[in-house]
Structure 1
């Protein structure tokens, strides 16, 4: 009897410990069994888990993640914009039958917010990742009262639908997290445009406007016409519905053991990830925007973008560039215009193969019409600009008509995809011989026109030469007269124009002179004197080789940064010309924004947006301040610089080589977002140009690539070298110039190489980073840095490859080769390094050594 009691006691004791674990391993909550604290719901097949989570800022969210994946991957967040702060908060079924999240005061913070007729409801987590509210005794999916699949956050899962539910009127869309550590509603969304011929856009949600960034193209029966990669997705089945109930898109996995998800990232990229079981990692299967032609309206109206061509924008036969000057500078945003007037009765239609269909929100769609009837309808409507099949399956069916300008067209290679598009052109242009097709500027190549162009060009050149000579004399007189003026009111716009700089008064700044034909705000010198308190020392933000930078406050309260170029700098006006001409045309979140300039007698000033945290070097190389740069911020800064540099090299209107990328030329705003600045040394490359040579090598010692410093050869790869140095400096918190290890034999690059080859790369990390960092990310950044500083330019990756390596934790990176300039100082270098702003000659090439500005 005693033995029986003893065993009973043991069983009771073990049960009391284990029973709560079994109780918590449930998939359903009720009004009497809420979810609290560290409890979680687990779907029946243990695929997904739901519970409270904290990303390290003491804010609690209810979210869903994969149960079997060790590193949590969140796919849905309930209270993304309404976190709670107490672990005593609970998720439960309220008195009105809705699922609600209550804080510690039992106040509802988040709710399913449905009209529920019966209160005997439960909330259940399914193996699909769907969290549903249903009647207790009714599991029919058609009768769900509410479901998370109808309320997505940033992730689309298999079976989840994106688009318009006509019954409820809700347009389901993805919206990014604010940052990787903040699941709040971010700046980017992926949303179905249901007007006309439906298609999906990536939208950037700015303060007062929503800007399209990328367009999928409409659904053509097999895939979105702008996503040819969908045809190679053998393990994924895509579905599209357009009926009385819905306009929606979804995908299914043909192998349920494979996890895949579509994510709208906080950086503005739409990414598809697939779980790779052997390596236990997420592999980036696809992403968009992928290239320059994925940028929305890259080539303007009637322009066609071709990523395999250079330049990427071209005009169709029968069209020519609207703005030839911008077109020649690789800026196709103004698009193309017709070469000849249309004559409705005789117009013809130009067939274009492998096309991403034009923007289709204003298109007319008829499912019952075949292509021949579609062509006849378009021809009879004088406003119709083009037509195509709505569905390309089974030989093609349906009709799409455009009666507006055609935007955002793209042509793919034959093997990639796209579909046929027919564009209206004048008969005279259509009937040109085949050898007179469209060149990249849209002009004809026939002999008669060629002769006419040559003769006309010669005449124009002679006229321009005569005009230029007369204008130059006039400008010189104006320049001389302007220099003789005195005082703050002696500003000379004519002098500015004579130097090749065109400015505009686009904003009504205090005391600012207005001029109708200007293109950049022109500030009055007096205004900037007042704003900077007469360029006081207290307002000084920094100083460099070409002058000082001051903080200023305009009368309207706007804070600015004013670069005052040194009067004694022989290169000052050249730097100002270059900077104004370049920055005014560049727009990117990781490039500093130029607000205007000022030229008055000997004063030359540039006005920029104000950067609250100044330059990167003021924080990175200061032991006390660098503690503010945790690993996440450092990684974000590296990624931001990479995005800005990629924009300069590939995605901007002009291909720009910066030539002076360094820590002091990376500015940080109040959010620590990096912005590349100082384009005084930058050079423009043509679309086909990959390398240039100069006799005057300018830049900063420690950041210049070997081929540039030694032979004057610069290219995008010389910028990549500078970026690699910058990456290693950000990781280590140490300068490449001035850092020497082991009896002056190794600089930072050589020291990093030694640690890498010895398997001790993590010893490079700045000790102020602390213990909270991703070892994989840190090692990947060090490896990328070494790949970028390899001695030979051809071994270095381009910036698009660098961004891919930074964003993918499963990509196999190549092993780096020996870095350039990794040895320590030679004797003559030690002697000269103590001097600033001096020049030394290497192989008859002058190298100007400039310290941080």
Structure 2
């Protein structure tokens, strides 16, 4: 059936709760298409909105997590000049499914279990604290990952700081700096969110995202824009005016919202973001360096240990420090220096445990050593970030030649010369990497 409204006749189809589990009289709750005319579902108690699903994004409701593997039904939302409705179609007609809302106001999907001849719960709308409608007030954003679930959107501040600090968020947030209208305003991209409520919004289904941005900039009252239909790419435009309400940060999925900011606010934010990125890069580089040093240390330790054990088993006394060149090497180089010296001499494989005799692994080991040396370069800008390291280790792309590492004890060590015995020469470090983020899918809520 069609769950929605006929815009010509006014017929409105929705589900409502029983008064109690054994009294089928109409209860207090209803789950219905937004009666204000927007493409979203609302859970209501009387005239009060309790929860909204978010805007239909072309595949599902934008504020509802994705399904892991839905083998029961397919779903779609239809919006025309004459009607707007949601519907689902069973993938297997022998597995009946229906939607209900409990007397306590919990929407859930039931499927028929033939073994027990009973209706069993297939999925339940798991409403959390951040799903409470407009919990954070105007221009606030809710996130269950934060100790204080409510915070102000970027460039906004609490309207009443004292109340906000007491976790009374209903007053919401106001702009710290007023917009300059057509005098250099810009937009901040907020990712992975349930888009704000559609009240005070405008929709155009044939406008590109660039056109949408320009349209928002041309209207001094426009505060944000987005492309809600991810199925159709950049072909839909939603504009928000006045205030942004009921925005939620989602742990997975979500959509992009472009929030309008004054030019001065945007410049400050970009500067802070750049500073944070540099600090994060330094921290990651330091951590990688520590890991690399530890790995190299273990390899060298195992190599020396194996050498001494073999010497003892053959009754030959081997004094590792007896040879003057070995003694000088250990005095002049720390562990990293020793690895760097062997790399330049084309003897990097001597860092490995000598019991490894699988020649097919040599190229892989050399690649690991090369990446390790790149992670401890003297200049932070020469060090790859963590996502780039993952790509380097999991692909066959050419790697840049490492330069002298940081924390190197010997002074004025010569730069490496080209040698046929060393690793093949690589192109300059102008490779761009694309990071593929793994996605975890949650149970469909509706």
Q: Shorter-chain TM-score: which interval?
A: 0.5 to 0.7
Q: CA separation in 1, counterparts of 2:62 and 2:69?
A: 14
Unaligned 5+ segments in structure 1 are 1-159, 438-443, 445-853
Is contact 1:196–1:361 with CA below 8 Å preserved after alignment? no
Alignment match, 1:332: 169
Alignment match, 2:373: none
Is it true that 1:348 corresponds to 2:181 in the alignment?
no
Q: CA separation in 2, counterparts of 1:280 and 1:352?
A: 48
Alignment match, 2:255: 419
For residue 12 of structure 2, give the secondary structure of its aligned residue in structure 1.
Answer: strand
For residue 257 of structure 1, give the secondary structure of its aligned residue in structure 2.
Answer: coil
Is it true that 1:178 corresponds to 2:19 in the alignment?
yes
Per the TM alignment, residue 279 of structure 1 is displaced from its structure 2 partner at its CA by 5.8
Is contact 1:223–1:238 with CA below 8 Å preserved after alignment? yes
Alignment match, 2:195: 357
Is it true that 1:161 corresponds to 2:21 in the alignment?
no
**CA 1:259–1:248 in 2, change beyond 3 Å: closer, same or farther?**
same
Q: CA separation in 2, counterparts of 1:238 and 1:337?
A: 39
**CA 1:387–1:300 in 2, change beyond 3 Å: closer, same or farther?**
same
**CA 1:363–1:430 in 2, change beyond 3 Å: closer, same or farther?**
same
Pick aligned residue for 1:400 from 222, 238, 252 = 238
Q: CA separation in 2, counterparts of 1:397 and 1:194?
A: 25
For residue 271 of structure 1, give the secondary structure of its aligned residue in structure 2.
Answer: strand
Alignment match, 1:150: none
Per the TM alignment, residue 227 of structure 1 is displaced from its structure 2 partner at its CA by 1.2
Q: CA separation in 2, counterparts of 1:179 and 1:337?
A: 43
Is contact 2:15–2:31 with CA below 8 Å preserved after alignment? yes
Per the TM alignment, residue 265 of structure 1 is displaced from its structure 2 partner at its CA by 1.6
Per the TM alignment, residue 200 of structure 1 is displaced from its structure 2 partner at its CA by 1.4
Is contact 2:58–2:232 with CA below 8 Å preserved after alignment? no
Is it true that 1:377 corresponds to 2:218 in the alignment?
no
**CA 1:314–1:275 in 2, change beyond 3 Å: closer, same or farther?**
farther
Q: CA separation in 2, counterparts of 1:401 and 1:224?
A: 18
Pick aligned residue for 2:57 from 210, 213, 220 = 220
Alignment match, 1:255: 92
Alignment match, 1:841: none
**CA 1:292–1:194 in 2, change beyond 3 Å: closer, same or farther?**
same
Q: CA separation in 2, counterparts of 1:275 and 1:435?
A: 57
Higher mean Cα deviation, 186-195 or 295-304?
186-195
Higher mean Cα deviation, 285-294 or 347-356?
285-294
RMSD: 2.1
**CA 1:320–1:368 in 2, change beyond 3 Å: closer, same or farther?**
same
Is it true that 1:187 corresponds to 2:28 in the alignment?
yes
Q: CA separation in 2, counterparts of 1:230 and 1:400?
A: 26
Report the TM-score, using the length of structure 2 for normalisation. Answer: 0.58
Is contact 1:326–1:332 with CA below 8 Å preserved after alignment? yes
Per the TM alignment, residue 379 of structure 1 is displaced from its structure 2 partner at its CA by 0.7
Q: CA separation in 2, counterparts of 1:373 and 1:403?
A: 17
**CA 1:306–1:435 in 2, change beyond 3 Å: closer, same or farther?**
farther
For residue 185 of structure 1, give the secondary structure of its aligned residue in structure 2.
Answer: strand
Is it true that 1:310 corresponds to 2:147 in the alignment?
yes
Is contact 1:389–1:397 with CA below 8 Å preserved after alignment? yes
Per the TM alignment, residue 194 of structure 1 is displaced from its structure 2 partner at its CA by 4.9
Deviation digits for residues 552-573 of structure 1 (CA, Å, limit 9, x no counterpart): xxxxxxxxxxxxxxxxxxxxxx
Q: CA separation in 1, counterparts of 2:161 and 2:26?
A: 42
Per the TM alignment, residue 179 of structure 1 is displaced from its structure 2 partner at its CA by 1.0
Deviation digits for residues 170-204 of structure 1 (CA, Å, limit 9, x no counterpart): 11111111111111111111121254532111111
The count of residues paired between Structure 1 and Structure 2 equals 273
Report the TM-score, using the length of structure 1 for normalisation. Answer: 0.31
Per the TM alignment, residue 373 of structure 1 is displaced from its structure 2 partner at its CA by 0.4
Higher relative contact order (CA 8 A, sep 6+): 2
Alignment match, 1:388: 226
Alignment match, 1:203: 44
For residue 66 of structure 2, give the secondary structure of its aligned residue in structure 1.
Answer: helix
Alignment match, 2:364: none
